[in-house]
Structure 1
Amino acid sequence: MDILIYQVLGKLSGYSNVSYEINGFIEKDVKLSSEALYSFHAKNNHNPKIVYVCPNSLYTKQNIREYLTNPVLLEKELHDEISSISVYEDFDILVINAIGNYKIGGEEVSFENTPGNVSIRLFLDMLERVKKYDGKVKLIADISTGHNIYIAAMLEALRAIIVYDKLRNGITGKKVDAAYAIAEPVGPNSESPRRIFVNEYDVKAFFTLPIKTQNLDSISKLEYYVERSDTKQKIRCETEDERRRLKNLLENLVKAFNSIKYNVPLALYTSAIDFSQDADILERKLIDFLLKVTKPVFNENRVAVTSLKWKDLFNLFYSLALFKWMSNEMGDLKEKDRASITELKKKTIQIYSKLGLLLNKRFLERDLSEIYDKKDRIPEEWACLKNLYPEEGMQGPLSVSDSKRNFFAHSGLERTMVEVRKYKEEIELRYMQEQLDLISKWLFNPED
C-alpha cells in the first residue's frame, strides 16, 4: 500500500535525536516522528512518502520578498535545510502561507491568512497526490509538531478528503484510509523510546446533495468563493467559461441525484440528464484558480493572502466527486434512450444497494413487476403505457399536478409519459420525447 505521511514543521533546527516506538518497532536516533513512521511502513513492505508542511514564516534569511512570494524558490531552500536534519531523503515539501507575526531577516513581518485557507491548501495537495496512485492509499496526519492552527487545519483537510473519497467511490467504497499519529512529548530523558500512537480516522459520508439548488447561480461563479470584493469583477470576467460549465454540471448533478433519491431511474437513460461534461477537467481548472488567487502578496512588511469561503469550497469539491461517481456508474446509459425491465432493475437495484436505498429498491421492483405482469398485452411496436390499462380509459385527462404526483409515486413510470414495447425476449421502456423537458424540470425541483 502507498502511504502518505503529512507533518507540519514549526521550526527547522533544534531537534534532538530521539528513539520512537510504534507497535513494538523501534526507530533510533531520528529527529522527527514522521521518520519513524516512514521506517515502520517501509519495513512492512509498504511504499511510504513524507510530506513536510512548512509555513513560509520558517524562512529566516535575507531577500524575504523574493522567497516569501515564490513558493518554488522557498521549497528548494526549505528542502535543503530539512535534508540536513532528516535521515531519509524521500520527502517532499508543501509550502503553506503562514498566520501571525514573525521576525524574518531582521524585519517584522505580518502574515495575513486564515485556517480555512490552510485546510483548502492541504486538501488540494492530498487530492492531487491521491489521484496519482492506482490502488489504495493511506493518509497519515502526524500532529506531533507544528502550531495548533496548522494542526487543526490539517485534520480538517483530512476529514474533507475522506468525505470526497467516499462520495467519489459511491459511499460504501473508498480508495483512502486515514489516520492521525501523535508522539509522546520529548522530555529530559530522551534515551527512552517515545511512543507514537496511530489512530484510525474516519467520518461518515451520506448520499445527500452537498449544495443548495436555490444558490446555484451564486455557487457557479468562482468569484463567489473569494472574500475580497475588489477582485471579484476581474475574476468574473476571467472565469466566464468556467461559470457556464460549472453551472451546467451542477444542474445535471441535481437532476441525477434526484432521479436516484426520488426513484426515477429511467430518466438516467435520457437526454434529460447530461453526464458528458468532464468533471476532472473542471476540477483541474478550479484547483489552478485557487492556487492562483491565494498566491501571497508582499506589501509593506505584510504578506497577505486572499481569504476563501472554505466550507463552500469543500461542498463544491464534494459535488464534483459525487458527479464523477454518478457519471462513472451511469454515464453510458443516456446513449440508449431506453431500458429493458431486466436491465433497469439490475442496474438500478445495484446502485440502490450500494447507497442503502432499500425502500426505493422495493418500490421499483413493485412497479416494474406490475408492468411485466401485463406482458401479454404489450405489442412489438412502441405504445403508450396507459394502453395496458383499458379499465382506466374512461377517466378524464390528468392535471399536471396529478401527473407529477403519479410520476414520483410510481418510480417515474407515469403511464401517460412512458412508452413500452416487446423486443425479442425483453420488455423495453422509454419516455416520450415530448415529455423530456417536463421531466427535466420536475427532477431539478421535485418539491415545487
Structure 2
Amino acid sequence: MNLIYQIGRFELNAFKPINFQIENQIFSQSLSSLALKEYFTKKGLESKVVLIYPVSLLFNKRVAENSPTLPQSFKEKVLTIITQPDERTAFFSDPYPYFKLHPHSKLADSFTVIHSIGEYEGIKFQVTFEELVFEIFLDIVERYLNEPFKTLYLDISSGLNIYVSALIEAGRLFITFYKLQNFLPEKEPLRVILYFSDPIIQSQLDKTFELHIHYELEVKTFFSWPQLPDQINPENSYPEFIKTLAEEDRKTKKYLTELLAPILTNGYIFFSALKNNTPLVFYTFPYHQEEEVISAIKKLIVFLKNRLLKNFQKTPGLKMDAYRKVFLMLSLYLGIIKALKIYEIFPKSEVSLSELNSKFRDSQNTFFKHFGLISHRAYFAQELENNFYKKEINEKFTEKFKLLKEFISGENQDKDIKDRNFIAHCGFERNCVEVRKENQEIWLRYINDPEKLKKIQVILIKN
C-alpha cells in the first residue's frame, strides 16, 4: 500500500479542481495528493491520503467570508471559532470535529491535526519545530504499526514552508526508525518519496501542472546506541534518563519506568553484546519478543499524543530530543531481535561450536555483516581457535561441563570474572565459560551461577 501525506489547504481557490499531470496522464483534483491517489488507483495500486491540518489553518476570516465554494454551514462554524471565545476554547480542546467538516476531509481517507506556529486573527500559537516534527512522526508510526505500507509519499509543494520542513524531517526520522529495525536485506524495503507539483499560480489555475513523484528520501543509519546507560543496574540502567522524560512528575516517572526500563536496559545489553563481539550472550539471556517492543512503542505513542494534544493552542514543552532517542533505541533493539530470530538464535542450555562457526564465523553467512561489524568475524574466529581448537586444550575436554580455565595449563586460580578479559576474548572469559566435548562436537555455556550471570550483564552495561 502507498500512504500519501499532504499539508491541508484553506484558501479562496483551495477547493477548485486543478489539472495535474503524472506520466502524460491528466487528473482533475483539488489536491495533488488526491490526483496521486487517482493515478495509483488507475494502476490497480492501493493507496490512502492523509491530510495534515495545522490547527491555525481555519483562522482565516477572509476565506471564510469570501470563498465561493465553501458550504455555508462550514463558513459559519469557522467564523464562530474566530469570533467567539467559548467556541474557540472548545476548538482548542478538540479541533477534530471542526476539521471533519472541512470539504477536503470528505475526500481524503483520513486527517490529523497538529499544532501551529505564529499569530493568526490575533491568536498566538506556540510550538517548537521539534514538536511539529514529532507530532507528524507519531502519526506516521502509528499508522504504519496498525496498517503497514510499502511506500510513503510526502507532498512538499505547499507554500506553508515550516510545516513542509517538519514533514520532511518527520519522514527522515521515520525511515531511520524503520531501517534500524530492518538490518537484514529485504526484497522490497520501505521507501519514502518526496513529490511536488510545478508552481501553482492562482491566476493560472486553468493550466496543467505536472507532478514530480520520483525523489526518494535517503538516510544513512549507523549501529550506534543513542543514549548510554546512566546506572550500572541490570534491572534498570536508565533511571536518570527516564526521570528526564518524566520531567519530575512522579506518576509519569512510575509509568515510564514500568514501560521502558526493562526494554531499554535489555536492549542495551544485547546491543553491547553485539558491539563487543560476545555471541554466547545471545544463547544465555532471554530477549523480548517483537510484540512486546511494538506494544511498548504503541503505548508510548498514546502517552505522548495525550500529553501533546491536551491543548492545541500551545504544547507542554516536552523534551522531544530525549523521546526521539527512546524511539530509536526501541527500534534498534527490535532490529536486533528480528535478526536473532531469523538466524534462529535463542537462549538454550548449551550451544555447539559448529553453530557458532556457522552463524558468526562463516564469511558468507556471518550474523555480524548485517550490522556493519565486518572485522568481528575474523577476531571471533581467532578467539575460537585460541580457546577451543588448540590441540593442547581441545584434547583435554571431557563429556562433563567444566570451566574453561581447568583445561588451560598455568591458568591462575582467581575465580572472579575480569571485565577486561571478558571483552578482550569475545566473552570467553575462563572463569565463566564452561566446556564439554561429545563425539568430537564441542559444547559451550556460561556457568549457571546467578551472581556470575549478573556480573556478565554488568560488564556489558559498562561497555
Fold in common (TM above 0.5): yes
**Is residue 2:152 matched to residue 1:116?**
no
8 Å Cα contact 2:155/2:196 also seen in 1: yes
Aligned partners of 1:270 and 1:333 also within 8 Å: no
- In 2: Cα distance, 1:61 partner to 1:239 partner: 42
> Could you report, residue by residue, the CA deviation over 1:138-166 in whole angstroms, capped at 9, with x for unpaired residues?
11110111511111111111011001001
The equivalent position to 1:405 in structure 2, one of 413, 420, 429, is 420
The AA in structure 2 aligned to 1:432 is I
> Which stretch shows the higher mean deviation, 424-433 or 285-294?
424-433
Quote the RMSD (CA, aligned, Å).
Answer: 2.6
Structure 2 distance, partners of 1:294, 1:254, is 28
| Equivalent position of 2:353 in the other structure | 341
CA distance in 1, matches of 2:184, 2:397: 38
Aligned AA for 1:436? L
Q: CA deviation at 1:398?
A: 5.5
Please name the residue that 1:23 is paired with: 23
Q: Does 1:236 align with 2:253?
A: no
Contact 1:171–1:207 under 8 Å retained in 2? no
Task: Return the match for 1:269 from 283, 290, 294.
Answer: 283
Identity of aligned residues (%): 27
Structure 2 length as normaliser, TM-score?
0.82
Structure 1, unpaired ranges of 5+? 227-231
Q: Which amino acid aligns with 1:93?
A: F
- 1:414 shift after superposition: 1.9
User: Structure 1 residue 317: deviation in Å?
Assistant: 0.2
- Contact 1:345 1:364 (8 Å CA) reproduced: no
Q: Does 2:98 align with 1:74?
A: yes
Distance 1:75 1:422, change over 3 A: farther
Shift of 1:366: 2.3
Q: How does 1:345-384 map to 2 (within 5 A)?
A: 345-348=357-360, 350-370=366-386, 371-374=388-391, 375-384=394-403
Equivalent positions of 1:167-316 (< 5 A) are 167-170=180-183, 173=186, 175-187=189-201, 188-198=203-213, 199-214=215-230, 216-221=238-243, 224-225=244-245, 232-233=247-248, 235-271=249-285, 274-275=287-288, 278-297=292-311, 303-316=313-326
Q: CA deviation at 1:431?
A: 1.1
- Deviation, 1:247, is 1.9
Of 201-210 and 364-373, the range deviating more from structure 2: 364-373
CA distance in 1, matches of 2:306, 2:158: 28
Deviation at 1:373, TM superposition (A): 4.8
Asked if 1 retains the 8 angstrom alpha-carbon contact of 2:183 and 2:339, the reply is no
Query: Corresponding residue for 1:418?
Result: 433
CA distance in 2, matches of 1:177, 1:315: 22
Displacement after TM superposition at 1:424 (Å): 5.3
CA separation in 1, counterparts of 2:294 and 2:455? Answer: 30
Q: Provide closer, same or farther for how the CA distance between residues 245 and 51 of structure 1 changes in structure 2, counting only shifts above 3 A.
A: closer
C-alpha displacement of 1:10:
3.8
CA distance in 1, matches of 2:311, 2:206: 45
Distance in 1 (CA, whole Å) between partners of 2:296 and 2:253 is 12
Aligned residue pair count: 416
Residue 229 of structure 1 corresponds to none
- Contact 2:282 2:347 (8 Å CA) reproduced: no
Q: Deviations over 1:291-316 (max 9, x none)?
A: 11112437xxxx22212222221111
Q: Aligned partners of 1:265 and 1:67: how far apart in 2?
A: 55
Match of 1:127 among 136, 141, 144: 141
Aligned partner (choices 175, 186, 191) of residue 162 of structure 1: 175
**Is the 8 Å Cα contact of residues 67 and 74 (structure 1) preserved in structure 2?**
yes
CA distance in 1, matches of 2:191, 2:368: 24
Equivalent-residue separation in structure 1 for 2:105 and 2:134 (angstroms)? 27
Normalized against structure 1, the TM-score is what? 0.85
Q: Which moved more, 1:287-296 or 1:185-194?
A: 185-194
Q: Which residue of 2 aligns with 1:323?
A: 333
- Encode CA deviations 1:335-393: one digit per residue, 9 max, x unaligned: 41421112223334542021121111111122224414544432111012123333xx2
Is the contact made by 1:17 and 1:30 (CA closer than 8 Å) also made in structure 2?
yes
CA drift of 1:225 comes to: 3.6
Partner amino acid, structure 2, of 1:76:
K
What amino acid does structure 2 have at the position aligned with 1:149?
A: I
